Chains A and B, each alone.
Chain A
Amino acid sequence: MAKSNEFDVIIIGGGITGAGTARDCAMRGLKVLLIERHDIATGASGRNHGLLHSGARYAVTDQESATECIEENMILRRIASHCVDETDGFFITLPEDDLDYQAKFVESCRSAGIRADIIDPEEARRLEPSVNPDIIGAVRVPDGSVDPFRLCAANMLDAKLHGAKVLVHTEVTEILKEGDRVLGVRTLDHVTGEKSEWYAPVTINAGGIWGHGIAEMAGVQVGMFPAKGALLIFAHRVNNIVINRCRKPANADILVPGDTVCIIGTTSTRVPYEECDNMKVTPEEVDLLLTEGAKLAPALATTRILRAYAGVRPLVSADNDPTGRNISRGIVCLDHEERDGLKGFITITGGKLMTYRLMAEKATDVACRKLGVDRHCATALTPLPGSELGGFEETIKKIWTMPATTYQKATAFRTGSSAKDIEKGVGLVCECEEVSSGEVDYAIRNLEVHSLTDLRRRTRVGMGTCQGELCACRAAGMLAASHGCAERARKDMREFMNERWKGSRPIAWGDTLRECEFTNWIYNHVLGL
């Protein structure tokens, strides 16, 4: 019998790529260990637009990426229906843009297999009243929005259901090697301080931008290109249809509705690798996002902003373009045995949030080949946990006989069919997002929740208008009771409030500042922290 620290495959990185790869490997019968330094979806997986690309954005410049996007787009609608909002998207032409680009755009979309319908500006304004009324052209494409946290959690949960072991808050400190072969990894558990060794014939580097450092630890080079993208979240869902600019991709030209909010982004700036752990949004980026955003939907200029945040795209360097815009967003799957003569080591990187499944498939194919396993990928056909009962309305009808309450609906919207396993619970933890104490309990028990920030990524606690003002303390109390450690929960609450403040600070004026002041009073004066 294999020892408890021996696996078929070790996956480093609990972003969407790692979680997806863990699911694919586990579904193909491999014994899987997934290791994440922080929490799932902490890096770029949780710091993006949440855009379910149709591929249209890349159609003119990168047909290969565009084709991948539309294929994966259609797959995610099926297997992750509880994470996807089928909004459709517009590519609008403003008076200052070249309307001739539209024809080329539509033709490129169609050749990549993306439905693209030119619609009358009048009709576009009717379908999406928030759109800039000055538009001179609009194309409708099958964009959508996808909740990256939910998608990550569902992949991780399914990997576990297929036998995978998941270690969060555990950092790989060394790649164990013997000659030209990777044998496994040494880790440090950040919660307990415990050091451990894990062994597997195949190790997959799915560390996103941090994959650069992981590859270095293994003694190989993957030339990563850290490209920072800043985004703003608004407190209302201003638009129901994704709005893009119909021109060559540029700054702040996508507005995505998601749940109760909408998100404008992004910028693209090359940043030093050393700074990837602590991205800050500058006042200049805020100005740019607001100015450009208001061109897509003028209401943004007067809508309250909730947060500013930034992620780092894990692009792989191909040329010397300083902006990173011209680098292919394509998938990079490196078998380091072929490339560098290092056995048992694979890097999967590049790509996009919504092509994660294909990335996972490619990496798992390589791993299976190395292990001599002949099982085919089934992730494109098998729904994720939460999506088994079909869409939102069907799911609700199948779970509750009585008409669902608003918070039950909110729970079902977030967790899909898993809502049936969630106790009713007394009390609402988060009023902004209607998260019940039952849903918080469920997440603490089933979804690897070690801190308030973990809980936020699973349930949206603290993601709403008040940014944790009331719910952080309530949830911290529940975590303290469940983990039996008040001191840790109190420290955690301080960290959580600081993490929320980091996102509010760049945009703290007007009503946002009022709310920040109120929150400060509660935590410093009423609670006496």
Chain B
Amino acid sequence: MKFQTIIVGGGLAGLTAGLALQKKGISCAIISSGENALHFSSGTFSGDCPEETVRLFEEAGIVLKGDPAKDSWRLTPSGSMQKVRLAFEDVTLYPSEKINATNVLIANPEGFIDFPTAFIADGISQQGIPCKVKSFSLPCLKLLRESPSEMRSVGIAKKLDGCIEEVAECIKGLLDGEDLVILPQVFGLASPEPVRALRAAIPAEINFIGTMPPSVPGIRVQLQLKKAFERAGGTFLMGDTAIMAEIADGTVRFIRTKNLDSHILSADNYILASGTFFSKGLTSSMQKISEPLFGLDVECPEERTEWYSEDFFAPQPYMAAGVKTDKDLHPLRDGQPISNLYAAGSILAGKKNAGMALTSTFKVVKKIAL
């Protein structure tokens, strides 16, 4: 099978690259094993984001709030305020390190323990704003509650998305003059409509805050990007994994995948957007950190003991590991760039965030679409 560009990785970088290229008339295939960082997104992007992001996402039906070049603030599930650039429409962004409200209600489905209401309430109180925590229960959640492993974000969203009117009535009943309602991100799994409907029905601002994974808005956005990519004519190889790449004379010749074992996939250009350890873009052994598909040169500390910081919350050197590239983002192999291969997203060495992933992605898109 022949494409103009083959992209390894169906996360934020891979999907954005695929969609942008496809819109420019370049036929792409994305090989996605299915696990990526969007599935536990906070619903926000931090770091310098390219201007093009907002337009491209809008074409996929995804509303991004905020200014890609200027910091806003989000209220986190631990109650702190954090600098971000863009946010999915679920999240309320604030222009300063203080939320915009005079009286807050935090409402949580009864028995849902993946949403630390006590921390959020404490953070809001520390800003000097009165805040109450209430739980709500609906008949549609009864069955979920009986099975202790079912009370998770996605399971709840599947139920609540089907009865937004009841949810709205229930929350209105809890309201006691508050002008901000904080809800966990357990709405809008398949489309953003439930989020919009709830906002329209409730006479107060609603800020949907992240839960423990999986991320409901993250899954939705991934799905919206994938659909937009396919609508634009792209080929999405779902649940497949690139297992072998043939390289000769400094260029990639073809790729083999796990599912298409008798076929080879070839293209003019290849983009490696396979992410870090979690999505297996990088692997590690007792001795070293490596890039498993192309055997690329990896930037990371030599000794294993140097991979880590003692403080869990400090920057971890292993998390900055990634492939080495030349200035045009061609990865190096034994010190030499591979001319038709590009690297984008978190597989690149250095500090990682959504802004950096999107910036490198658009840079690669421009090179390929020249």
Residues of A within 8 A of B (CB): 283, 407, 425-429, 431, 436-437, 470, 473-474, 476-478, 480-481, 486-487, 489-490, 494, 497-498, 500-502, 505, 508-510, 513-514, 517-518, 520-529
Give the interface segment out of B4-12, B22-30, B58-66, B118-126. Answer: B118-126
Interface size on B, residues (CB 8 A): 50
In the complex formed, the residue of A with least CB distance to B308 is A505
Q: Is the CB of A526 within 8 A of B215?
A: yes
With contacts A407-B148, A474-B113, A497-B312 known, is A514 near B42, CB below 8 A?
Answer: no
Interface pairs (6), CB distance under 8 Å: A474-B114, A486-B118, A489-B118, A494-B312, A513-B318, A526-B215
Q: Judge if B361 is at the interface, Cβ distance under 8 Å.
A: no
> How distant is the Cα of A481 from the Cα of B40 in the complex, in angstroms?
25
Q: Judge if B96 is at the interface, Cβ distance under 8 Å.
A: no
B177 CB, min distance to chain A CBs, angstroms: 24
Q: Is the CB of B308 within 8 A of A476?
A: no
Within 8 A of A (CB), among B94-116: 110-116
> How distant is the Cα of A473 from the Cα of B114 in the complex, in angstroms?
8
With contacts A476-B116, A509-B284, A528-B82 known, is A518 near B278, CB below 8 A?
Answer: yes
Q: Which residues of B contact A477 (CB under 8 A)?
A: 113, 115-119
A406 CB, min distance to chain B CBs, angstroms: 9
Q: Is the CB of B118 within 8 A of A526?
A: no
Q: Which residues of B contact A526 (CB under 8 A)?
A: 40-42, 76-77, 210, 212-213, 215
B314 CB, min distance to chain A CBs, angstroms: 10
Q: Is the CB of B277 within 8 A of A490?
A: no
Q: Judge if B286 is at the interface, Cβ distance under 8 Å.
A: yes
Q: Is the CB of B110 within 8 A of A470?
A: no
> How distant is the Cα of A489 from the Cα of B79 in the complex, in angstroms?
12
Q: Which residues of A contact B77 (CB under 8 A)?
A: 526-528
With contacts A477-B116, A481-B118, A501-B312 known, is A513 near B277, CB below 8 A?
Answer: yes
Q: Is the CB of B79 within 8 A of A486?
A: yes
Proximity string of chain B (343-366) to chain A, C-beta cutoff 8 Å, 1 when within and 0 when not: 000000000000000000000000
B80 CB, min distance to chain A CBs, angstroms: 5
Q: Which residues of B contact A436 (CB under 8 A)?
A: 148
A453 CB, min distance to chain B CBs, angstroms: 14
In the complex formed, the residue of A with least CB distance to B117 is A477
Q: Which residues of B contact A522 (CB under 8 A)?
A: 40, 212-213
B39 CB, min distance to chain A CBs, angstroms: 10
B101 CB, min distance to chain A CBs, angstroms: 18
> How distant is the Cα of A529 from the Cα of B305 in the complex, in angstroms?
25
> How distant is the Cα of A431 from the Cα of B215 in the complex, in angstroms?
18
A481 CB, min distance to chain B CBs, angstroms: 5
Q: Which residues of B contact A490 (CB under 8 A)?
A: 78-79, 119, 122
B346 CB, min distance to chain A CBs, angstroms: 10
Q: Judge if B276 is at the interface, Cβ distance under 8 Å.
A: yes
Q: Judge if B316 is at the interface, Cβ distance under 8 Å.
A: yes
Q: Which residues of A contact B80 (CB under 8 A)?
A: 528-529
Q: Which of B78, B115, B212, B277 contacts A528 (CB 8 A)?
A: B78
With contacts A486-B79, A527-B76 known, is A427 near B312, CB below 8 A?
Answer: no
Q: Judge if B319 is at the interface, Cβ distance under 8 Å.
A: yes
Q: Which residues of A contact B319 (CB under 8 A)?
A: 517, 520
Q: Judge if B304 is at the interface, Cβ distance under 8 Å.
A: yes
In the complex formed, the residue of B with least CB distance to A407 is B148
Q: Which residues of B contact A514 (CB under 8 A)?
A: 277-278, 280
Proximity string of chain B (271-286) to chain A, C-beta cutoff 8 Å, 1 when within and 0 when not: 0000011101001111
Q: Which residues of A contact B313 (CB under 8 A)?
A: 494, 497-498, 523-524, 529
> How distant is the Cα of A527 from the Cα of B80 in the complex, in angstroms?
9
Q: Is the CB of B284 within 8 A of A427?
A: no
> How distant is the Cα of A407 from the Cα of B147 in the complex, in angstroms?
10
Q: Judge if B302 is at the interface, Cβ distance under 8 Å.
A: no
With contacts A407-B148, A528-B82 known, is A473 near B212, CB below 8 A?
Answer: yes
Q: Is the CB of A517 within 8 A of B312?
A: no
Q: Is the CB of B40 within 8 A of A521?
A: yes
> How distant is the Cα of A480 from the Cα of B77 in the complex, in angstroms?
14
Q: Is the CB of A513 within 8 A of B113?
A: no
Q: Which residues of B contact A486 (CB under 8 A)?
A: 79, 118-119, 121-122
Q: Judge if B37 is at the interface, Cβ distance under 8 Å.
A: yes
In the complex formed, the residue of B with least CB distance to A286 is B286
B60 CB, min distance to chain A CBs, angstroms: 23
In the complex formed, the residue of B with least CB distance to A525 is B42
Q: Judge if B249 is at the interface, Cβ distance under 8 Å.
A: no
Q: Which residues of B contact A474 (CB under 8 A)?
A: 113-114, 116, 212
> How distant is the Cα of A474 from the Cα of B111 in the complex, in angstroms?
11
Q: Which residues of B contact A497 (CB under 8 A)?
A: 312-313
Proximity string of chain B (204-215) to chain A, C-beta cutoff 8 Å, 1 when within and 0 when not: 000000101101
> How distant is the Cα of A527 from the Cα of B148 in the complex, in angstroms?
23
In the complex formed, the residue of A with least CB distance to B286 is A509
Q: Which of B149, B283, B310 contacts A428 (CB 8 A)?
A: B149
